[in-house]
Copies of this chain bind each other. A is one copy, B any other.
Amino acid sequence: MASVSSQRMSGVLCPVITPFNQDLSPDPDRLIRQCRWLLSQNVGLAVFGTNSEANSLSIEEKMMLLDRLVDAGIDTNRMMAGTGCCALTDTVRLTEHAVNLGCAGALMLPPFYYKGVSDDGLFASFSEVIERVGHSSLRIYLYHIPPVSQVGISLALIERLIKAYPDTVVGVKDSSGDWDNTNAMLQRRWDDFRVFAGAETFLLQNMRGGGAGCISATANINPAAIDRLYREWQSAEAESLQKELDEIRDTAMAYPMIPALKATVAHFSNDAQWRTVRPPLLALADDQCSALVASLLQKGFDMPGLG
């Protein structure tokens, strides 16, 4: 379970996929149901991550969805909202909204359009956001995902931000796919700093190194098993639990990730509408869906209680 300790999060969090209606508008009701199911599986909610197609949603759409989740009584203590946008003013507005609603964390991408920007420029960017939001409850988890954003967050920048804002910059999601980078973060032993692996692939290693858990796309389909490894990482079964997680992940990741997660949820909830993605992504074709589901079933995969 993603838990709050000294107002810092840990555990397994899920970058919740965002359901769309036929007209491509986001569907708050399906999202609420999905979040409830995820919480029932003991994982926390990282809404508006990369796998949420968050960057294909406007600020207004994200604020509306947050409002609806909160109105539905979804526990904001278990909620980390992705709030980092290209534009400073958008990031401020969305972060303010999330903090005011009581979200326990903000998962923050750096501004990602301009490339080759300096650490000084990125520091100025995060700093402006923090000062402008100006809220003592703001807890930022830096989102390092250079394969997608192409703008990364260096160790030196993290250290500088922690020094300047020790009660605000409290963690990181490392989606570099580079264990050496995650490990280097852990080795710094920053005070109570929460290092989340960006995928369950590194969950066991991360826990052994003192990490806080993982925030992983696959938690959309395999939450309970990932949470089990988080809880039992010191057990004798840990290695085999990790191996089982890897097999399911590899099976799903044989297809484009977001469409594959949505196709899987669509199948196991018997709700084809879940397959819809927003451009520029494309939904899996019918034959791809069937092949994906068949290969998951072959592994004994199921999503109990879904739908």
Contacts and interface: CB of A to CB of B under 8 A. Distances in A.
Nearest to A109: B113
A282 B112 contact: no
Copies in the complex: 2
Interface string A56-72: 11111100000000000
A125 interface: yes
Contacts of A113: 50, 55-56, 112, 148-149
A85 to B, nearest CB: 8
Given A24-B88, A86-B86, A279 B111 contact: yes
A246 interface: no
A88 B150 contact: no
Contacts of A110: 280
B56 A278 contact: no
Interface residues of A, number: 40
A121 interface: yes
A113 to B, nearest CB: 4
A300 interface: no
B58 A89 contact: yes
Contacts of A120: 282
Contacts of A282: 118, 120-121, 124
A188 interface: no
A294 interface: no
Contacts of A148: 113-115
A71 to B, nearest CB: 21
A128 to B, nearest CB: 6
A281 interface: yes
Most buried by B among A111, A114, A121: A114
A101 B58 CA distance: 22
Interface of A: 24, 50, 55-61, 86-90, 93, 110-115, 117-118, 120-122, 124-125, 127-128, 147-151, 278-282
